[in-house]
Amino acid sequence: MYSDVLIVGGGMAGSALGCALATSSLFSKITVIDTTPIPKAPENEVPDPRCVTLTPISQKFMRSIGTWNLIEEKRRAGFKEMKVWDYYGTGSMLFEDSYGWVLENKAITHANMTRLSQFPNVEILAPAKVKGFSVRTGEVEVELEDGQKLTTSLVVGADGKESKVRNDFKIGAWRSTYPHCGLVCTVKADNKVPTAYQRFLKTGPIALLPFWDDYYSIVWSLPPLEAERLKKIPPAQFIEELNKALHDPSIVSFPVSTQLDAPMIREITTDRFSFPYALQHASKFVDSRVALIGDAAHTIHPMAGQGYNLGVYDVINLAHDLCEAAKVGKDPGSLMSLENYATRSRLYNTLFAGFEQFILWNYTDFGLIHYWRNANFSLINNIPPLKSLFQAGANGTYYVPSHWSWVSEMPPEEIPF
Ligand SMILES: Cc1cc2nc3c(=O)[nH]c(=O)nc-3n(C[C@H](O)[C@H](O)[C@H](O)COP(=O)(O)OP(=O)(O)OC[C@H]3O[C@@H](n4cnc5c(N)ncnc54)[C@H](O)[C@@H]3O)c2cc1C
């Protein structure tokens, strides 16, 4: 069985790429393989703590492939401003027009997979396991554990940070650990405002992201031992420590105090989970007959809420280039069709990882560096062109082409309120 493109990994990135390619109607067959069954739509009243914040570009992309409206309206919670401040307390940033959405990972994957199953030229094999790949002239043979053999012009590795595709195609990866892991859970607050909060604490950043009703997602980055401790303490003590982290007065108030008004947390409504963090970059994002996207190509610290959004920009760039190549009859697996994606995606992913690393170094806790970091907060907050530049970078505006080949008309901008 031959496919133009065979995607290994039907998570949020792989299923999104399948949708974009299928929407273009330029490919005769696309196959998506995942080791796990297609997830069910989330139905719980309490939001799942495994969630992502989406930038306006990522939201626009979901509308372009027809998956946005497949998610129940309530579960597409929007926010319109973002407040960032520091435990040391002399600077802060307030982004008044910083639109974003908080969505459960399961809701995104389910919507993408539902959309994919509506295309007659898409085959979904899930659960199914790849045994190995043999690269031949002009194609790759993919053998599954059940003995099935498939052929394709291009294998896309969208199989997460431990990517089998990356390993089997002998693409190396540079990896370094962060001093943090992530503690996530869903909580209820005393009131709900459409604002995302992030406070930089001595131990690492904590984010409070608004879901629907008065639910919020907590993403608390901490040293692993501290995360383990916070996972085990009784819920009432956890709420107390959480409120202290968000509300304790800043250490200094000179030249100006920047205590911000985050909501008070009343109740924890899910289990607490922890995830290890890693900074990882594949040594190359493409090779002959293979391309990597999403976490298979790169992972970063989630403090800026960009990991999956960078994966969406990969999807947009790769899908656009593959569609343009298909229009002129180019082989999708040839290096000529892939090199533009490789250059662009490496550039924005490296820039973003470098930017995050710079922020983390600023949090190395010594001497007067507190003042330097808080002065930067104030500088960005008070110089409108700098603030707009910062915001456009966080919105994803610079990383994707202005027109996307799978839609004849771009969806208009949409704000959550
Ligand atoms: C605590 C935390 C908070 C985060 N918050 C944010 C946020 O706010 N915003 C944001 O943008 N990002 C965030 N991220 C990052 C985001 O979760 C990831 O970047 C995203 O999930 C990656 O999606 P993916 O599809 O590339 O990989 P994955 O989600 O890992 O999906 C990989 C898929 O491949 C399948 N698979 C694996 N191996 C194989 C195989 N051999 N064969 C076939 N299939 C296979 C898996 O079953 C899975 O379905 C956060 C991450 C963490 C840990």
pTM for this prediction = 0.95
* Count of beta carbons in the 10 Å neighbourhood of residue 235: 13
Q: Which atom of ligand 1 is nearest to the CA of 129?
A: 42
Amino acid identity of residue 107, one-letter, is A
With 0-12 / 13-18 / 19 or more C-beta atoms within 10 angstroms meaning exposed / middle / buried, residue 155 is: buried
Q: 24: part of which helix (H) or strand (E)?
A: helix 12-24
* pLDDT band at residue 253 under the 50/70/90 scheme: low
Residues near ligand 1 (Cβ within 6 A): 8-14, 33-36, 52-53, 105, 130, 158-160, 164, 182, 184, 219, 275, 294-295, 302, 305-309, 311
Concatenate the DSSP letters of all residues of 16-59 into one string. Answer: HHHHHHHHHT--S-EEEE-SSPPPPPP--SSPPS-EEEE-HHHH
Q: Is the distance from CB of 222 to CB of 183 less than 8 angstroms?
A: yes
Q: From CA 84, how far away is CA 91, in angstroms rounded?
A: 9
| Residue located nearest, by CA, to atom 27 of ligand 1 | 160
* pLDDT band at residue 259 under the 50/70/90 scheme: low
What mean pLDDT, rounded, does the chain reach? 92
Q: From CA 186, how far away is CA 210, in angstroms rounded?
A: 10
What region does 89 belong to: left with phi over 0, alpha with psi -120 to 50, or beta? Answer: left
Q: Compute the average pLDDT of residues 285-310.
A: 95
Q: What pLDDT sits at residue 120?
A: 97
31, 35, 222: residue to mutate for ligand 1 pocket, most atoms within 8 A of CB: 35
Q: From CA 376, how far away is CA 83, in angstroms rounded?
A: 15
The first and second tokens of residue 163, run together, are 């990517």
Give residue 54 CA to ligand 1 midpoint distance, Å.
14
**3-state SS, residue 259:** coil
- 263 preceded by a cis bond (ω within 30 of 0): no
6, 8, 12: residue to mutate for ligand 1 pocket, most atoms within 8 A of CB: 12
- The answer on pLDDT for 165 being more than 70 is yes
* pLDDT band at residue 178 under the 50/70/90 scheme: confident
Per-residue pLDDT reduced to its tens digit, 43-69: 999 999 999 999 999 999 999 999 999
Q: Is the distance from CB of 85 to CB of 92 less than 8 angstroms?
A: yes
**3-state SS, residue 106:** helix
Q: What is the DSSP letter of 305?
A: S
What distance, in Å, lies between the first and last C-alpha atoms of the chain? 47
CA distances from 206 to 114, 184, 360 (A): 33, 10, 13
Per-residue pLDDT reduced to its tens digit, 312-333: 999 999 999 999 999 999 999 9
Buried b (16+ CB within 10 A) or exposed e, 100-130: bbbbbbbbbbbbbbbbbeebeebbbbeebeb
Q: What is the DSSP letter of 184?
A: E
Q: Which atom of ligand 1 is nearest to the CA of 53?
A: 8
